[in-house]
A and B are shown apart, each in its own frame.
Chain A
Amino acid sequence: EAQVTQNPRYLITVTGKKLTVTCSQNMNHEYMSWYRQDPGLGLRQIYYSMNVEVTDKGDVPEGYKVSRKEKRNFPLILESPSPNQTSLYFCASRPSLDAYGYTFGSGTRLTVV
């Protein structure tokens, strides 16, 4: 089944403890992106990647890092999480920048205490 897989689905962590949210797609998509969803603010793009080794900042990149060493994987790294990064996170992929629609992962609900 074609899908975007995120892990974990739920995570509670403490301030400052580094964590990684994994994202993997099995559709050979070139384009991948991370979004966060917050009440009243909607969904906002954090980072995106056009292809392997090509990443760039979205609208809210502060406090996050990403890497794209393989086409299928696009992990989101929080080096020193803070409570304002408590959010619902989504990974999404698309065949290429301007082709067809996006497929979203199931989301990761992160709480930083």
Chain B
Amino acid sequence: GIQVEQSPPDLILQEGANSTLRCNFSDSVNNLQWFHQNPWGQLINLFYIPSGTKQNGRLSATTVATERYSLLYISSSQTTDSGVYFCAVARSSNTGKLIFGQGTTLQVKP
């Protein structure tokens, strides 16, 4: 099956710093999403981005589908950005199953 690898596994930042999270996937996909899991366990959808670039405030994401990777940029990080960031992909299939990476745990220190 398709493999999803995220890097780095852990990241510690000072408030105000910028960061880039990476997601590599092993096969072509028709769905790629970035999620933030907050300390309460909720999965918040950040981007639906099977290809191209999107921006939402301090966050932006780029997916290069032909090279099978996606990047999530966090600028001017805040303590509320702490949590786990997941990349998840799905192939065109008859199950619609999302395959999640193992996540990047981000801690933003004040």
A: which residues have CB within 8 A of B?
A: 31, 33, 35, 42-43, 45, 48, 50, 56, 58-59, 88, 90, 92, 94, 97-98, 100-104, 106-107, 109
Contacts and interface: CB of A to CB of B under 8 A. Distances in A.
Contacts, number: 54
Contact of B95 (A45, A100, A102, A107): A45
B42 A101 contact: no
A101 B102 contact: no
Interface string B67-96: 000000000000000000010100010111
Contact of B41 (A31, A35, A88, A97): A88
B25 to A, nearest CB: 14
Interface residues of B, number: 20
9 contacts: A33-B96, A43-B88, A45-B95, A45-B97, A58-B97, A90-B43, A102-B98, A103-B45, A104-B35
Interface of B: 30-31, 33, 35, 41-43, 45, 48, 86, 88, 92, 94-98, 100, 102-103
A102 B98 CA distance: 9
B97 A107 contact: no
Contacts of A97: 94, 96
Interface-centre pick from A88, A98, A101, A109 (highest chain B CB count, 10 A):
A101
Contact of A100 (B41, B48, B92, B102): B48
